Structure 1
Amino acid sequence: MEPARFMSYWLDALALVYFFGVWVLYSRTTDKGFLNRRSLTSEMNLARRQWMTTMSSRELRMIDTSIMIGLQQGTGFFASTSILAIGGCFGLLNSSGRVVTLFHDIPFLGETTERLFETKVLGLLVLFAYAFFKFAWAYRLFNYCSILIGGVPMARDKAPDDPQVIFSVNRAAEINILAGQHFNSGLRGIFFSIGYLGWFLDPVLFMITTSLVAVVLLRRQFFSNARDALLRNNANPDS
């Protein structure tokens, strides 16, 4: 193997490892916190629990069912979009020869073989498949949560501090939070697929676009106006 091509393969492998490393690190940072700051997702999980607690005191729960329908519709939309993206990846595989020829005509791009291009497309396909399964499972969990909401005892039948009410509320909240986590994981796959597109041009650009996506997501989770709005009335917002 030529030294230049050998180095190119190693650079591609390094960029791919970097991509997944950044993805895992970002996921853990979102769960654990960053610079002693809680993430926007963590604050929304607290809001989900508050929602379920408030719901238990309502006798008429049309508001709650309407919210659940909206969550399911949004999740279903992204699941359908992921399916379309998977179909687009298969379309790229069918025309890989023409695309590689087009890449060869662009002067500032490195050498790309048809096999390498197909490998990159397969990786993109895996990302969209991962996102689809996350969205599909989130959709089902939101459906389960709707059933659990219907099983929470009515306020007129039980006291708010009744053990059965507390158990039902906590159960519905946990499923709601879990559904939100899977939905966020699916969105994460979509977001990082944008950074993945840089690999089609250059492995170094791949690492740069991956870093940019991670920085944008970190800012939204820990330094965004949305997070500040949730914590505006909190005496210790970074706790």
Structure 2
Amino acid sequence: MRFLDQMALFAPLDALAVALTFLAWAGLGWLIESDRLSRPSVTILMQEYRRDWMREMITRQPRIFDASILSSLRQGTNFLASASMIALGGLLALIGNSERLLGVAEDLTLGGQPTLVVEIKLMATGIFLLYAFLKFVWSNRLFGYCAVLMAAVPNDPDDPRALPRAIQAAEVNIRAALNFNRGLRSLYFSLGSLTWLLGPLPLILGALAVSWMIWSRDFASHSRLILLTSPSKG
């Protein structure tokens, strides 16, 4: 009963704010990854550039440049996976230390809230961090698969196996990028979800702010205009 009594401290607005946050997270992911929209996202536009990269790789000798690009992509996933794991570990340590948690609550003027309430609010952030970590790890693994496929592309551009294997490498590369972007979006929402510590209204505002930031970068950014610009001839 004590648990139910403490859960009763959450207002209906809290449930609405949490639902809105997760719906925004899932909805943005669907919009960004959909290839059926009349206004494609940067993520979708970059997919064709990744395919072009692998086609060009067939004729490039040596392929040190391609290997260095892939290495830098893997380093990015490694760094963010490590950062997510450290953040998640720190969050779990904070949740497990009631005295420190109460100190944080007092610093945020949340001293009137039971420890369990603050813990549940932090767990929402933990869910986003855990998802991000898993996506970054899988993205790194897929980039590794892509490296093997790239190495399996014959050096002879006229070899009938060259183009099919390059296409395979491109598709695996695209899957790795999709998972990387999913992890990145989850990191953004993990930061936005921290505003729940201040109340449901700040959480709603935080979710809207993060959603606008992610949407604008994929659908209304200057980089998107550059990707849509056709290269000039001559």
TM norm. shorter chain > 0.5: yes
Query: How far did 1:167 drift?
Result: 1.4
Query: How far did 1:33 drift?
Result: 6.4
Aligned pairs for 1:114-193 (under 5 A) are 114-155=115-156, 158=159, 162=160, 164-193=161-190
1:155-177 CA-partner distances (Å, limit 9, x unpaired): 3552xxx3x22211111011000
C-alpha distance in 1 between matches for 2:129 and 2:66:
31
CA 1:225–1:26 in structure 2 vs 1: closer, same or farther (change >3 Å)?
A: same
AA aligned opposite 1:103: A
Aligned twin of 1:232: 229
Aligned twin of 2:4: none
Aligned length: 228
* RMSD between superposed Cα atoms in Å: 2.5
C-alpha distance in 2 between matches for 1:231 and 1:156:
29
CA 1:115–1:6 in structure 2 vs 1: closer, same or farther (change >3 Å)?
A: closer
Aligned twin of 1:204: 201
Cα pair 2:102 2:111 within 8 Å, conserved: no
C-alpha distance in 2 between matches for 1:194 and 1:84:
14
TM-score, length basis structure 1: 0.87
C-alpha distance in 2 between matches for 1:75 and 1:138:
7
AA aligned opposite 1:167: P
Cα pair 1:59 1:155 within 8 Å, conserved: no
CA 1:165–1:117 in structure 2 vs 1: closer, same or farther (change >3 Å)?
A: same
Structure 1 residue runs of 5 or longer lacking an equivalent are none
C-alpha distance in 2 between matches for 1:106 and 1:141:
41
Query: How far did 1:72 drift?
Result: 0.6
C-alpha distance in 1 between matches for 2:166 and 2:51:
8
CA 1:103–1:156 in structure 2 vs 1: closer, same or farther (change >3 Å)?
A: closer
TM-score, length basis structure 2: 0.88
1:92-111 CA-partner distances (Å, limit 9, x unpaired): 1133444436535766x694
CA 1:143–1:203 in structure 2 vs 1: closer, same or farther (change >3 Å)?
A: same
